[in-house]
Each structure stands twice: as C-alpha cells, then as structure tokens.
Amino acid sequence: MAKAEHLKKLIASFGRTQEFRTAALRIIDDAQQQGKKPLADSLRKILDANVRQGYQTSPQPGLTTLTSQIDPATDLIDAIEVTRGLGDIVLNTDGRQLIECIIEERRRSEELRRHRLPISARLLFAGPPGCGKTMCAEVVARELSLPLYSARIDVIISSFLGETASNLRRLFEFATRTPCVLFFDEFDALARTRADTGEHNELRRVVNSLLLMIERFKGPGVIIAATNLPQYLDEALWRRFDEIVSFEAPGEREISELLVRQFANFPANFELTAFVGKLTGMSYADIERICIDAIKKAVLKKRKSVSETEFAVALRQETRRKGLTSRRSQ
Ligand SMILES: Nc1ncnc2c1ncn2[C@@H]1O[C@H](COP(=O)(O)OP(=O)(O)OP(=O)(O)O)[C@@H](O)[C@H]1O
Ligand SMILES: [Mg+2]
C-alpha cells in the first residue's frame, strides 16, 4: 500500500505534470520497497506511456543513445564505443598494478566465489582532467568484454528533485540485471558532501540513498565513478568503494612512454627525450594533442616524419592555448 502522504500529493498535483510524475514515482518506489516489483514495473510503464517527462533525451555527439524502449533505464544512460585496451593506456606502476589486479579478479571471479571471497565491483577513479579516468573505464570494459554505459548525470539530477533518487534506483537496478561497466562521470555533481550548508534537504536524502545503493551493489557488472574534485565528495562515500584509483599527471617515464606510442605509426626524426622536461606538468590529453598537431603539420607538408621544429611549434601553440583557458577560468 502506498503511503498516505504520497497518495495525497498525487491527488493534489492534478493538472501539474511534473509534480504528478514525482508523486507517482514515490508511489512506485513504495511498491518497490514493499517487494511488489511486478506492480511497480507495470505502474512505471503506465506512467511512462501516459505522462511525458520534461527533459530531452537527444544523443550527445560521439555517443550512441540506446534506442531500445524496452529497458526502463534507457533514458538514463549512453552507450559508449569501446575500442582501447590495456595496451593503449599509459599508467604509472602502481596504477597499472591496481587496474590489472581488478581485471584479473573479475576474469577469475568464479575461483574467488568458490572461496566465498568478495569481488571488487565498485571503483572510484580520482584525479585531474585529461589523465585517463574515462579512458580507463573503456579499458576495463574492453578487457572484461563488457559494454560501457555512461550515466547521464544531467538527466538523473532532475530539476524536479523528487525524481533524482528514483532515477538512481532505476539505474542501479539496470546495472544489477545487465552485465556492464556503468560509468558515473563527474560523480561529485551527484555525491556532494551532505555537510554542504547550502544543500537542500532533498539532496541530502539523495546522497543517503546513493550511499546505500553503492553499498548494496554486488554486480554482475562494475560501477566506476570518476571525479576530478575528490575534495567535494561526501566522506562516507570513500569507504563504499572496493578500490580507489588515483590518476596523476604523467611523470618523466610516462611522458616518454606516451611519446613513443604517439609516434609509433608516424615517426619523429629527432630525439623525443629532449622534450620530456618541457612537457612535465601537462596532462596526457595535452601531450597527445601536441603530438597529433605536430603529425598533422608534417602530413600537410607531405613529409614522412615529424621534425623538431614542427613539434616545438605544436608545443608553443598548446602552451598558448592553456594560458588562454586558465585565464578564462580565473
Ligand atoms: N593515461 C593515459 N594514457 C594514454 N592516453 C591518455 C591517458 N590519459 C588520457 N589520455 C588521452 O587523453 C584523452 C582524454 O583523457 P580522459 O578523457 O580519459 O581524461 P579524464 O581523466 O577522464 O579527464 P576529465 O576529468 O576531464 O573527464 C584520452 O581519450 C586519451 O586519448
Ligand atoms: Mg573523463
């Protein structure tokens, strides 16, 4: 039976679509929590078929939105193409060891289960932009042969607050019945600390439900949350994750490795190591952009290799670009 207060809200919201939807979703949640899943599912179908939501679900560039209308979580995720594996990513020794360990654990999960050992299913990737958090989610999916779905945080955080917790529930149910890597980018947007003084009570409730959902999640897939603002995450969240992977800007060894990879198919005709010092402090994405720019310049000049001058020009352009973007963000 739905809670009386939710029924009252439903009747009071007559004529106001968004409010009606939220009140109806609360009633669906009630049914779900009371173990009446078939009733909850059929109510949701009726609601989705008759009461339209106020947000748009158009695909983002580079991402394929699932077209299937069958799964009730379709509007909350984007499918991401998976192409790159462990051999494509540069990681420091600790990072590589941790990621390889996680992959190995999942691949041999049956052996671990036989010994009643838990399997890591909840990962938190933290670190500055352009250092491989999203790429690593792709690598994990590829190595485990799982599809990769990115949670649409903008849609999940409904402008109509009551829907956020119920959207999250739908998403976690999806990840429980679908073997996949479910990626929560910009996780801090969802999991801001409950102590944030400016936060609405409702948001605090959302973080509480999120904590519970993460705690209860056991797979079959993997949940990966990523943030470049770990300081904003609610403290209680950290211990809900099985592993925390720190991504950092590349050191000298990683820069050299990245340069070798970037010029594997289109060579450089100068000593790459001479530039390692000048690239220190930049992210992997910045360095990758410099290499691609330099290669483009050489290709357009119809040359077979990149010269030191082309690389130096690309580096100067990137430094100028960074100067402009950092000034704009001040
Ligand atoms: N560790 C890495 N090894 C190899 N290439 C990398 C690495 N990190 C980043 N790149 C390159 O830079 C691109 C952008 O990096 P990515 O999107 O993974 O960064 P991110 O940490 O998720 O950043 P953000 O916090 O902005 O989301 C990648 O698609 C990849 O081409
Ligand atoms: Mg990212």
Residue 80: both structure tokens together: 């991401």
Atom index in ligand 1 nearest the CA of residue 138 equals: 18
For ligand 1, which residues put their CB under 6 angstroms from it? 89-91, 129-135, 228, 247, 258, 284-285, 288
Tell me which residue has its CA closest to atom 4 in ligand 1: 89
Residue 94: both structure tokens together: 């600790």
| Best mutation site among 92, 124, 153, 284 for ligand 1 pocket (most ligand atoms within 8 Å of CB) | 284
Q: Where are the domains of the chain?
A: 4-50, 74-246, 252-328
Question: Which stretch, 55-59, 71-75, 202-206, 264-268, has highest mean pLDDT?
Answer: 264-268
φ/ψ bin of 219: left (φ > 0), alpha (ψ from -120 to 50), beta (otherwise)? left
Residue 182: both structure tokens together: 């479910």
Do the domains spanning 74-246 and 252-328 agree at the CATH topology level?
Answer: no
260-286: average pLDDT: 94
User: For position 327, what pLDDT does the model report?
Assistant: 56
**DSSP structure class, residue 186:** T
Spatial CA neighbour of 133 closest among 1, 226, 220, 258:
226
Q: How many residues are present in the chain?
A: 330
259-283: average pLDDT: 94
C-alpha 129 to ligand 1 mean position (Å):
7
The 10s digit of each residue's pLDDT in 236-256 is: 888 899 999 999 999 999 999
Tell me how many degrees the CA angle 113-114-120 measures, rounded to the nearest 5: 15
User: For position 246, what pLDDT does the model report?
Assistant: 94
Residue 57: both structure tokens together: 């679900």
The 10s digit of each residue's pLDDT in 287-320 is: 999 999 999 999 999 999 999 999 999 999 999 9
Q: Does domain 74-246 have CATH number 3.40.47.10?
A: no
C-alpha 196 to ligand 1 mean position (Å):
30
Q: How far apart are CA 108 and CA 300, in angstroms?
A: 48
C-alpha 106 to ligand 2 mean position (Å):
23
170-195: average pLDDT: 86
Average pLDDT, the chain: 85
Q: Does domain 252-328 have CATH number 1.10.8.60?
A: yes
Global pTM value: 0.77
